[in-house]
Structure 1
């Protein structure tokens, strides 16, 4: 739903997702509505909530509210989507400590029948003592308490090979964010992102690697789409045509 955040009302966004052929969506917080209204709209447009992005501040300071709201909309996966620049560790120790904190939050969620996952950008691909920041997070947490939602395009922008990186996520990979990099000089008005299959990434390697790693979801996303409905419609069809299962 982050892709559709600027597309009119929440109801218009859900209608667009339905027209594009989707049956599940990844929520962004509460969408500024109560659980009753969110349930009403999900039911109206025949959509399930497969996960919700929730910021670290809410997970640290208001976890019970997060749990209560998401249980009310029948969602059991919480994904931490972003670290502001001022909160990003600058050492292996700092990333390990973040991993330990997320492990504790994930343990609490697991005891409430829920799952915690972490969504990356490019800055988690920076290496400290030979390991990326994301690997330090993983090494400091347990697979039962913290899963990964891998944004393949950001992995590539961070200088890593997404297909190869997926091999490091055994028992960890919950989902893949699916968008493509277009390269500098094209789609400049869209932050140089494009629809999956139209860019420079090797999806013929990434998608099979994700399937082998038992990714449960392939989530269509675009950070700044010029034509959001066209992009999500085309991406949905691409995945239907290229996923083996």
Structure 2
């Protein structure tokens, strides 16, 4: 269900002052609350609209909420070229981006790395600092797991990509859905244990980890204990009774507890809203209305100015 997921330095002095290599504890002070493209895609799709059909109008809608930062999903450098003028027009920052990769086979991995690095080079005018990727599974929707050899190949290539992005002043952040939590979460753990923390950080998609572990907060907070210091970004979503809600707020996941856990280890990640919809989600408001609510609640919970 995953959808193939930026000249204005003068307007962003805080970002321009950011260090070339982020640590998890350094990210947040430089970045405003952001929002991922994918949540808007799901809201637009529910209303029979296409987010990408008129990106100018879509980003005008995005900007109307008061959101100041955007995390797009990028497939190639050409998309960056088209996006940059629109972000400048609406005074929207782009601290992070999401890129698609396939890293478990050597040939495909080489193409993915080349593509991501071309995207990274195109992003230089935007001063983007975090590149998030969720390596493709064997097949989306399949129950087939990667072999040990494929996991080893993927970790090697992820570390290589992270090292190359580091040279460009960017941080690679590993992201997961529920697939990586199957089979004793061996894919998730190996990607973090077999890569250098200097090259690969973690984008903790809180709800996908929760759902992938069978709707378990025990598993979620164990992962925070194990890898919390590698968290450079959080994807924020809430559910009630296991169902994604229209807005972020109280629900299945104890986000105040997560804030306490991160504060205890002095981790201050980049916060990215991704309050997506699924078939059984409530339907009471449009995308802009919902994201205005999200902003108020997320700023309250996470102490974002």
Q: TM exceeds 0.5?
A: yes
- Taking a change above 3 Å as real, the CA distance of residues 217 and 100 of structure 1, as seen in their structure-2 partners, is same
Say if 2:153 is the partner of 1:97. yes
1:151 to 184, 201, 205: 205
2:175 to 113, 116, 119: 119
C-alpha distance in 2 between matches for 1:154 and 1:17: 24
Instruction: Tell me the residue number matched to 1:81.
Output: 134
Give the secondary structure class of the aligned counterpart of 1:176. Answer: strand
RMSD: 2.6
Are the equivalent residues in 2 in contact too, given 1:143–1:171 (CA < 8 A)?
no
CA offsets per residue over residues 144-199 of structure 1, 9 Å max, x none? 11111111111111124323321222431011111112335xxxxxxx31122243
CA offsets per residue over residues 60-83 of structure 1, 9 Å max, x none? 342442222222433232111352
Are the equivalent residues in 1 in contact too, given 2:203–2:235 (CA < 8 A)?
yes
C-alpha distance in 1 between matches for 2:80 and 2:178: 33
Instruction: Tell me the residue number matched to 2:190.
Output: 136
- Taking a change above 3 Å as real, the CA distance of residues 151 and 170 of structure 1, as seen in their structure-2 partners, is closer
Return 84-93 or 226-235, whichever deviates more: 84-93
2:59 to 14, 22, 25: 14
Aligned length: 236
C-alpha distance in 1 between matches for 2:170 and 2:275: 26
Say if 2:258 is the partner of 1:206. yes
Are the equivalent residues in 2 in contact too, given 1:10–1:31 (CA < 8 A)?
no
Instruction: Tell me the residue number matched to 2:244.
Output: 193
- Measure how far apart 1:240 and its partner are: 1.2
C-alpha distance in 1 between matches for 2:59 and 2:98: 17
C-alpha distance in 2 between matches for 1:35 and 1:120: 23
Instruction: Tell me the residue number matched to 1:41.
Output: 86
C-alpha distance in 2 between matches for 1:97 and 1:110: 20
Return 204-213 or 69-78, whichever deviates more: 204-213
Return 45-54 or 21-30, whichever deviates more: 21-30
Q: Which runs of 5+ in 1 are unaligned?
A: 185-191
Give the secondary structure class of the aligned counterpart of 1:174. Answer: strand
Are the equivalent residues in 1 in contact too, given 2:96–2:128 (CA < 8 A)?
yes
Tell which has more relative contact order, 1 or 2 (C-alpha 8 A, sep 6+). Answer: 2
Normalising by structure 1, report the TM-score. 0.83
Q: Which runs of 5+ in 2 are unaligned?
A: 1-36, 42-49, 103-110
- Measure how far apart 1:53 and its partner are: 0.9
- Taking a change above 3 Å as real, the CA distance of residues 168 and 17 of structure 1, as seen in their structure-2 partners, is farther
Are the equivalent residues in 2 in contact too, given 1:176–1:215 (CA < 8 A)?
no
C-alpha distance in 2 between matches for 1:4 and 1:155: 21
Are the equivalent residues in 1 in contact too, given 2:237–2:273 (CA < 8 A)?
yes
- Taking a change above 3 Å as real, the CA distance of residues 42 and 174 of structure 1, as seen in their structure-2 partners, is same
- Measure how far apart 1:97 and its partner are: 3.1
C-alpha distance in 2 between matches for 1:35 and 1:90: 31
Give the secondary structure class of the aligned counterpart of 2:67. Answer: coil
- Measure how far apart 1:103 and its partner are: 0.3
- Measure how far apart 1:114 and its partner are: 1.7
